[in-house]
């Protein structure tokens, strides 16, 4: 996606990506114990040109986004350190039912709405005009979360994601913006416009600097997705 000043992308790591993901059915994960009554749809990037969107090295935005989504759902970290017994280590441990979209953009919209998702979060990574992956200018990068203009719940969820994820991301220019008509993106995003659930579109970090890519591929942070969601919903249990 083309920003006024940025390319929006998505980041996903390849080690957890299964072959043929685009043709597979969505993945649905039940909570480990009691369901808290909320369904969360995570929708990883699915760019046809992933791997050629400015990603440093051989990284692929789609793969990085899927892996971040998977670890937010099933991971083993809390407080950014390994902790495979914490009740806060992932969304399932926190009591959420989670669906990870593995098909097309349209199937993500249709499946989220038909499933009755309470929250819908597209998972992406960003890119700018920077062509030097070795840059250390952290002020040029950060976490960006987009919400539908006029949707107060979406804005609140976006703020929580920006605060919890952005606090950890290496870029320091973290912010939220509305869609459409804000210059942060020129695209009217279907996963905000056509979704019944409260939605926030997360650009976790920029993938065109090594510090950002290395952070995206470090799975000590995705537990923060659950923290942000719990904060937004008031810790339903």
The token pair at 139 is 């002020």
CA dihedral 7, 71, 92, 168 (to 10 degrees): -70
CA-CA distance, 30 to 174, in Å (whole number)? 32
* CA-to-CA dists, residue 195 to 24, 45, 87, 118, 213, angstroms: 21, 16, 30, 10, 29
pLDDT at residue 14 tops 70: no
The token pair at 136 is 């250390």
Q: Which CATH architecture has domain 6-233?
A: 3-Layer(aba) Sandwich (3.40)
Domain ranges of the chain: 6-233
For the segment 52-61, what is each residue's pLDDT rounded down to a tens digit? 999 999 999 9
Closest CA to 222 of 141, 165, 182, 180: 165
- Residue 174: the pLDDT is 98
Q: What percent of the chain has pLDDT over 90?
A: 89
pLDDT at residue 11 tops 50: no
For the segment 105-156, what is each residue's pLDDT rounded down to a tens digit? 999 999 999 999 999 999 999 999 999 999 999 999 999 999 999 999 999 9
């Amino acid at each position: 996606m083309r920003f006024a000043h940025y390319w929006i992308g998505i980041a996903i790591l390849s080690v957890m990506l299964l072959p043929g993901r685009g043709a597979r059915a969505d993945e649905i994960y039940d909570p480990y114990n009691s369901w808290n009554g909320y369904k969360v749809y995570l929708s990883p990037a699915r760019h046809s040109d992933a791997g050629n969107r400015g990603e440093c090295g051989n990284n692929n935005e789609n793969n990085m986004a899927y892996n971040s989504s998977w670890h937010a759902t099933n991971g083993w970290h809390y407080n950014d350190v390994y902790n495979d017994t914490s009740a806060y280590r992932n969304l399932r441990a926190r009591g959420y039912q989670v669906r990870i979209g593995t098909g097309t953009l349209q199937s993500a919209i249709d499946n989220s709405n038909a499933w009755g998702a309470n929250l819908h979060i597209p998972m992406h990574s960003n890119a700018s005009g920077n062509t030097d992956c070795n840059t250390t200018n952290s002020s040029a990068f950060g976490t960006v979360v987009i919400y539908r203009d006029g949707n107060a719940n979406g804005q609140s969820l976006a703020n929580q994601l920006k605060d919890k994820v952005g606090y950890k991301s290496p870029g320091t220019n973290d912010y939220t913006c509305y869609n459409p008509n804000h210059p942060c993106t020129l695209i009217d995003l279907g996963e905000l416009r056509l979704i019944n659930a409260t939605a926030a579109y997360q650009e976790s970090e920029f993938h065109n600097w090594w510090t950002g890519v290395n952070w995206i591929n470090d799975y000590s942070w995705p537990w923060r997705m659950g923290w942000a969601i719990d904060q937004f919903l008031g810790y339903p249990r």
